[in-house]
Structure 1
Amino acid sequence: MRIVFLILFFLPILAFSQINQTDANGLRQGKWEKKQANGRPVYEGEFKDDKPVGEWKRYHPGGQVKAIMIYEGDTARTQLFDVWRKKVAEGNYVNQQKEGVWRIYKENLKVAEETYSKGALNGVLRRFYDTGEIMEETDWMNGKQDGNYQVFFKNGEPYMQCKMKDNVRNGLFLVYFDNGQQELVGEYKNNLRHGEWKYYNRNGENIYTLFYDNGQILNPAVRDSIDNLEMQNLEQNKGAILDPEKFMQDPSEYLMKNKTKQ
């Protein structure tokens, strides 16, 4: 009975002693965990020969699961959660860097897909409407916007198209009405408006043209007369019409807010 008692007494101590252990070579082995001062977990998982294996969990300060990571060699299949236990992202880490397609969620709806290589955005980034249609596509290279940048109406038709180089606009810039007619044809040079900027109505008729030289407008009188007409229109509609120039900075956000163009 005494031997049995001693075994039962020391069993919890022996079990506890197996946590956060290293072997004779200093390599982490077995179960590892870390806790806050209040006893809530920070992380928990297992090591084999100093490398994480199997399922690991990380926690928010309040104790909710923040990440679930399944290790298979150098790859960790990962799901991330907010404090309300809703998934906010999923994808793979390879050697602790994001790799491949990562899916981003909001309120359990997929809102974006991002493509990574060695931790940097590399490939196509897509954003989605809350009903699932593609809203925006951007080409990335080594963490910078480089290539095509497109924004779409919900029906899949293009709203805006332009070329990007090293995070700035360079080249042709196109904007469309929802009936497929071009609304604007222009060009950027090192993020500055350059050359002819032609504006059209919904019937495809050219209504005015502005000329630029490296961002400097060459016919300001035309611009000023158009601005005056637009200001009058805005006043008549009591601000119901969004500023049409906003699509220059954030076309996808402008498109989402301007319900008349969806």
Structure 2
Amino acid sequence: MNIISAQTGEQLNQTDSKGRKQGHWIKKYPNGNIMYDGFFRDDKPSGEFKRYYEDASLKSVLVFDNTGTEAFASLYYPNGLVASKGKYINQLKEGKWQFFSSTNKDVLISEENYSGDKRNGLSVKYYPDKTVAEKMNYVNDVKHGEWTKYYPDGKLTMKTSYVNGKLDGRFEAFFEDGKPEFKGQYKNDVREGLWIIYRKDGSQRFKTVYTFGVPDNREMELYETNYLDSLEQNKANIPDPEKTGNIW
């Protein structure tokens, strides 16, 4: 059924003889607020297309090309702040996407690279002053390659690597003055070989040898292993800038 706009007299929500959407379309929620407002050409969106939350606040603005398959998008939190910006191709994220704080206007918190809606390449998290907090590499949405985390002053706090989603290779953590805090090796997601924990003065606190993730002397080295678990967990969790979450 065609609708005529009371404000402009324009015909809305039209379909052609093949049932394809054409022209200006406005769809509303049951409460009467607009769900989306945009234009179609042969059933594909064309030009600027706006979506809204049920409370009428802006949810997204997408600008489509002439084919209706590629769009530059700005997505919004319910409070009106920009949540993310990037490009869609066939409704899948493509290329670089930027994600922003939900509480501080225009504060960039992360950048990710996508191919076919999957993270590929370098992903970066930032502190509010745009200092790099973390770098992670992905292949088809799986962690693969170097992973580094940084203190707010830009100094390295942790460095390791992933192979096909599993920790594999040297693991190093550092105090804020750059001295080593602990180091060791991962193989296929478990500790392997010699691990050393240091004091802040640079002297060694513990030395523990692992084979397939198990310390050679399990009874004597239980405390050292638990201590290392705690240190490693803290390094993995800090720093962690705000995450946008899913706004769809």
TM over 0.5: yes
Rounded to whole Å, the distance in 2 between the matches of 1:79 and 1:103 is 10
What corresponds to 2:245 in structure 1? none
Structure 2 CA distance for partners of 1:246 and 1:135, relative to 1, 3 Å: farther
Q: Deviations over 1:196-216 (max 9, x none)?
A: 101222343333210111111
TM-aligned CA deviation for residue 221 of structure 1: 5.2
Question: Could you list the runs of 5+ residues in structure 2 that have no partner in the other structure?
Answer: 242-248
What's the C-alpha RMSD, in Å, of the aligned pairs?
A: 2.6
**For residues 226 and 49 of structure 1, what CA distance do their matches in structure 2 show?**
66
Given the alignment, which residue of 110, 118, 121 partners 1:120? 118
CA distance in 1 between partners of 2:5 and 2:61 (Å): 30
- 1:187·1:195 contact (CA, 8 Å) conserved in 2? yes
Please point out which of 83, 89, 95 is paired with 2:90: 95
Residue 146 in structure 1 maps to residue 144 in structure 2: yes
1:28-43 aligned at under 5 Å gives the runs: 28-43=21-36
Normalization by structure 1: what TM-score? 0.80
Q: Distance in 1 between matches of 2:223 and 2:29?
A: 65
Partners of 1:11 and 1:201 lie apart in 2 by 73
Q: SS of the residue aligned with 2:237? A: helix
Question: CA separation of 1:34/1:246 partners in 2, compared to 1, >3 Å: closer, same or farther?
Answer: farther
Aligned-partner Cα distance in 1 for 2:224–2:147: 28
SS of the aligned residue for 2:238 comes to: helix
Letter matched to residue 26 of structure 1: G
Q: Does the 8 Å contact 2:208/2:224 carry over to 1?
A: no
Amino acid at match of 1:198: I
Q: 1:140: how far off?
A: 0.5
Residue type of the alignment partner of 2:237: E
**TM-score (structure 2 length as normaliser):** 0.84
Q: CA deviation at 1:222?
A: 5.0
Structure 1 pair 209–23 and aligned structure 2 pair: CA distance change class (3 A): same
Correspondences of 1:222-241 after superposition (within 5 Å): 223-224=221-222
Matching residue within 176, 179, 194 for 1:178: 176
| Residue 30 of structure 2 corresponds to residue 46 of structure 1 | no
Q: How far off its partner does 1:85 sit?
A: 0.7
Number of positions where the alignment pairs a residue of Structure 1 with one of Structure 2: 233
Query: Are the aligned partners of 1:247 and 1:254 in contact in 2 as well (CA < 8 Å)?
Result: no
After superposition, residues 140-219 of structure 1 pair within 5 angstroms as 140-219=138-217
Counterpart position of 2:77: 82
The partner residue of 1:105 within 100, 103, 117 is: 100
Deviates more, 1:192-201 or 1:24-33: 24-33
Contact 2:100–2:110 (CA under 8 A) maintained in structure 1: yes
Which protein has greater RCO, CA pairs closer than 8 Å, 6+ apart?
2
Q: Tell whether the 8 Å contact from 2:161 to 2:170 is kept in structure 1 after alignment.
A: yes
Q: 1:90 touches 1:104 (CA, 8 Å); kept in 2?
A: yes
2:124–2:134 Cα contact (<8 Å) kept: yes
Give the structure 1 partner of residue 49 of structure 2.
56
User: Is there any run of 5+ residues in structure 1 with no aligned partner, and where?
Assistant: 1-9, 231-243, 258-262
SS at match of 1:62: coil
Q: Report the counterpart of residue 132 of structure 1 in structure 2.
A: 130
What are the superposed Cα offsets for residues 31-63 of structure 1, whole Å, 9 maximum, x if unpaired? 112111121111110011222111111111111
Secondary structure of the 1:15 match is coil
Q: Which has a greater percent of helix?
A: 1
CA drift of 1:12 comes to: 5.0
Question: Can you list the C-alpha shifts for 1:111-156, whole angstroms capped at 9, x where unaligned?
Answer: 1111111100111111111222110000000011111110011222
